[in-house]
Amino acid sequence: MNLDVPQLLGLAVMAGVAGIVSGFLLWNQSRAIKWFAAVLILVGLGYLAMPPSPTELARVVFGEPG
């Protein structure tokens, strides 16, 4: 699997948003629940790494490369 820069940026944006949202939603939960949410986010990002969706998201957020 060869990941290019736009794909990595798109995955970073998705991970950041998912981490912030889960942090707010799971603020008062135990540490085990937070770790479980983190693992689910990583599995989801691994699943999304194959299609071109991270690259398209990076182009929308950061614009087309000059």
* DSSP characters over 53-66: HHHHHHHHHH-S--
pLDDT at residue 47, as a whole number: 82
pLDDT at residue 36, as a whole number: 95
Q: How distant is the alpha carbon of residue 52 from its chain centre?
A: 14
Q: Which pLDDT tens digit goes with each residue over 23-53? A: 999 999 999 999 999 999 999 888 888 778 7
Pick from 47, 43, 56, 44: which is nearest to 9 by CA? 56
Question: The pTM is what?
Answer: 0.72
The whole-number average pLDDT for the span 2-30 is 90
